[in-house]
Structure 1
Amino acid sequence: MQISNKVFVVTGAGGGIGRELVLNLLSKGASVAAVDLNLDALNGTYEAAGEKKEKVSLHQVNLSERMEVEALPQQVIDFHGAVDAIINNAGIIQPFIPVHELDYEKIKLVMDVNFYGTLYMVKTFLPHLLERPEAHITNISSMGGFLPVPGQSIYGASKAAVKLMTEGLHSELKDTNVNVTVVFPGGVGTDITKNSGADSGKKKEATPEQMKKLLTPKEAAEIIIKGTEDNQYRVLAGKDAKLMDRIYRLNPKKAAALIAEKLK
């Protein structure tokens, strides 16, 4: 998909990968509707846009509330005149604890934001996207969406749901103007644990040396946008995601054991 002169909606745009997605798109000549629950964070993204601020609109939305999402397309169209693509980047993780220790309120929140938030965005914007000459849906799953991570089983389940829904959308929309991409990031150096309100639980914090091996949010955003530009079916972001994808395809049990051992 050509990026220049297109209107993108980016969720989770207040920081991390989402902010870098906004800045990358702006640098390629797109206009962006930046969506996030945190208005202060959105304002930070707006300031980071510098001279391209006039191409950015800010939208404070709770993605787990369907009515708020359903009000969003008209707001975007009123500001930008149209909408050509959505990147469903927003997501939260759970505390790093087993399922039997996780309360139902946290389980519901993770599913509501990660899966239902993505679903609401897709169903709400798709009628508008189908009216455009060329359109795109990019959904961010996770390496944890195809590979089980102990202490993140519900998060993984939510991202696996995003994975399969996105792949189904690709098949349903293959004869339309709307292209669909699913992205599987590996480790990325973001504040998702803090922003999710999820303490590390039994998981040790990453060391500075380990942090150096993670993708930066900027690098992850570049990979995601490149996948969107090229209309890729699936995008593996990071060496760890690519490696574990290969191992998982050959031996799922071994791949799961490797991750479990690494997290001890």
Structure 2
Amino acid sequence: MKVRDKVIVVTGGGNGIGRELVLNLLNKGASVAAVDVNSGGLEETVNHSGEHRDYLSTHVVDITDREAVESLPSEVIDHHGKVDGIINNAGIIQPFVDVEDLDYEKIDLVMNVNFNGTLYMTKSFLPYFLERPEAHITNVSSMGGFLPVPGQTIYGASKAAVKLLTEGLHSELKDTNVNVTVVFPGGVGTNIMENSNAEGTRESSGDDEGQSHKLLTPEEAAEIIVSGMEDDKYRVLAGKDSKMMDRLYRLVPKKAANIIADKLR
């Protein structure tokens, strides 16, 4: 689905990849509803939008609050007149500790933001998408959603759930006007570490796995994601590390898992 003249909702639009997704879409001629729990981050996104700010709306919403999410489609439509697509980008990681040492409060938070938030947004907007001539759902999983990363096991489980949710949606919607894409970023240079560990901050952005010199920039990641949406791709591997580990994990999953484990040891 080409994004020009479309209205796209972006979660986590106040920071990192989410902000760059908003700016990328605006530059390509889309109108955007940016969603984030952080009002200050959304204000900063507006400040970066320049001449396109008239095509941007901001919505302070905690995506783990189902009732708040369910009221969001009408807010977006009231502002923009329609809604054509969504990029479920918002997500957090866990503290880098083993499952044994991770408390249930953190576990619940990661699952609620990464999986339930994506599910709530998808279910709330899907009925409106089915009424459009064409529409698109893009869900951001992670390289950690198909490859185990020690110290990020619950995060990986939440992103694996996003993967299967998205692939299931693709099968369910294959004969409709709604296309579905799942994205697997590798290492992206964002501040998700800071956001995720800041007293339960529910902020978004992407993934911080990998060494800094190998990381995609948020701008590069956003371009890959939007291009995948416009090309109606089934799956998008964002970054050389994600592409390499995807191939290796398919061929020799245990070896691939051991490589990551040894690298982090």
TM-score range, shorter chain: over 0.9
4+ runs deviating over 2 angstroms: none
| 2-structure distance, mates of 1:172, 1:151 | 34
User: What percentage of residue pairs aligned between the two structures are identical?
Assistant: 71
Question: 2:163, 2:182 within 8 Å by CA — same for their partners in 1?
Answer: yes
| 1-structure distance, mates of 2:243, 2:157 | 20
**Are 2:62 and 1:29 aligned?**
no
| 2-structure distance, mates of 1:40, 1:252 | 42
Query: Who is 1:249 aligned against?
Result: 250
**Are 2:18 and 1:15 aligned?**
no
Deviation at 1:2, TM superposition (A): 1.1
Query: Who is 1:111 aligned against?
Result: 111
| Alpha-carbon displacement from aligned partner over 1:5-57 (angstroms, at most 9, x marks no partner) | 00000000001000000000000000000000000000000110001000000
Deviation at 1:231, TM superposition (A): 0.2
Question: 2:187, 2:211 within 8 Å by CA — same for their partners in 1?
Answer: no
Query: Who is 1:43 aligned against?
Result: 43
Please give the root-mean-square deviation of Cα atoms over the aligned residues, in Å.
1.2
SS in 2 for 1:236: strand
Structure 1: 5+ residue runs without aligned partners?
200-205
Query: Who is 2:173 aligned against?
Result: 173
| 2-structure distance, mates of 1:157, 1:198 | 21
Deviation at 1:197, TM superposition (A): 1.3
Question: 1:143, 1:241 within 8 Å by CA — same for their partners in 2?
Answer: yes
Q: How many residues align?
A: 256
| TM-score normalised by structure 1 residue count | 0.95
Counterpart amino acid of 1:138? T
**RCO (CA 8 Å, sep 6+): is it higher in 1 or 2?**
2
| TM-score normalised by structure 2 residue count | 0.95
| 2-structure distance, mates of 1:45, 1:210 | 27
SS in 1 for 2:211: helix
Deviation at 1:198, TM superposition (A): 6.4
**Are 2:41 and 1:57 aligned?**
no
Deviation at 1:229, TM superposition (A): 0.4
| 1-structure distance, mates of 2:197, 2:31 | 31
Deviation at 1:210, TM superposition (A): 3.1
| 2-structure distance, mates of 1:97, 1:38 | 26
Query: Who is 2:260 aligned against?
Result: 259
Counterpart amino acid of 1:262? K
| 2-structure distance, mates of 1:210, 1:68 | 37
Counterpart amino acid of 2:102? L
Query: Who is 2:204 aligned against?
Result: none
Deviation at 1:151, TM superposition (A): 0.1
Structure 2: 5+ residue runs without aligned partners?
200-207
Q: How does 1:84-103 map to 2 (within 5 A)?
A: 84-103=84-103
